Amino acid sequence: MRRDRQWTKLLAGVSLGLMLLSTGCTHETGLNGKEKGLAAAAAEELAGVLDSSETGTSGMPESAGVPKSPETPGTLEDDGAIRTVTDVQKFTFDKGVMTEEITSKLKKVAISNENGTVQLKQGTGTQLEIHTIIEVGKATQEEAKSLAAQSEVQVKQERRQNLTISASTRSSKSQSGHEVSIHMIISLPQTFKADLKGKIGNGDVVISDLPETGKIKWVTDNGSQTISRVGADLTLQSGNGRIQVQDARRNVKAEVSNGQIEAVQVGGALDTKISRGQLVVQEAASTVKAAVETGNIAIASSQVGGNWQVSSEVGDIRLAWPKEASVKVAAAASLGQVYSDFDLKLNKNRASGSLNKGKYSIKASTLGQIQLQES
């Protein structure tokens, strides 16, 4: 209590001094009797506090002190199996590579991972290979080792026809706050022709260089999907995240609740749905169906090889195709305008007409603006 009162007096004296300085009373002759007394008392109080601080008994209340910075985590040495990142407290465990013999009877491979990533690529051997890496965050080194030991990838085959690969851990985020994720790099044999089906709870998937597999179907709750240079029909779905497809030789069906779809060089039919997000398409060789609830649409192609049906409830649409394309156009912008590089009939917020005998139809509708351009 005495220290608190002492500190209060000191603050009052300092405040008075600041007030006097602000009014120009910087000399003793400018003070009246009462002001001189207060200033002297403040000076005496300040001197007492400074004296007591030298002996370790400062009158400053404990709550007024500067808080101590938390100790910086020490650097943990690398033991060959663990890579430590001290600033984010993460540990990585390389579990090595497991192999699985498969035969031509194999029809389907199902892959699941609750928390982590999956990379699928073309291998060079005759076996299916799974390289597993486990990452543990917000844990001590000993805790991380224990959690990693409880995490694994299980592989099961059913009559050589169905193969299941599942990553499991005690919890992606335990009650103590530890975070565990499993990362799988799966290399498929060169003769692999089975269907692929996958699901990730939280994490990304990358699929590349698979020219001859069966159908590929993938679902991600939270995370992105990146697929390139594949020869199979694709069915892709993401709750929150982005879907990127490049050099897909066959049909692509993609759906996103919150996120963006980017499709580049699609050889087959393209069917996309987005609740909230953007759609970007470059080079579509066949039919295009695009439905967006809230977001913009941009489609540009050097050829038109099928009908285009494009709609956005709230957003703008930009479509580009070559001037020699044989198309019949019908575009309507309910609250916006339609701009066209082509010889079409324009009527307020609508555009229509047939170009080069109109073999394929291009239909577009939105509340916003529509731009029809030459590619």
Measured distance CA(128)–CA(73) in Å, rounded: 41
DSSP secondary structure letter of residue 173 = B
The sign of the CA dihedral 109, 205, 309, 266 is negative
Per-residue pLDDT band at 170 (split at 50, 70, 90): low
Q: At residue 158, what is the residue type?
A: E
Q: The tokens of 351 are what? A: 């555009």
The tens digit of pLDDT for each residue in 33-56 reads: 544 454 455 445 444 444 444 444
Report how far apart, in Å, the C-alpha atoms of 48 and of each of 16, 18, 90, 288 are: 18, 20, 50, 84
Q: Is-contact 178 136, C-beta < 8 A? A: yes
Mean pLDDT score, 151-168: 93
Q: Is-contact 166 109, C-beta < 8 A? A: no
The tens digit of pLDDT for each residue in 334-349 reads: 999 999 999 999 988 9
Q: Please count the other Cβ atoms lying within 10 Å of the Cβ belonging to residue 245.
A: 24
Q: Is-contact 14 50, C-beta < 8 A? A: no
Q: Is-contact 184 94, C-beta < 8 A? A: no
Per-residue pLDDT band at 112 (split at 50, 70, 90): very high
Q: Tell me what pLDDT residue 72 has.
A: 32
Q: Is-contact 249 233, C-beta < 8 A? A: no
Q: Is the pTM of this model over 0.95?
A: no
Per-residue pLDDT band at 262 (split at 50, 70, 90): very high
Among 308, 361, 314, which residue's Cα sits nearest to residue 336?
314
- Rounded to a whole number of angstroms, the distance between the first and last alpha carbons of the chain is 81
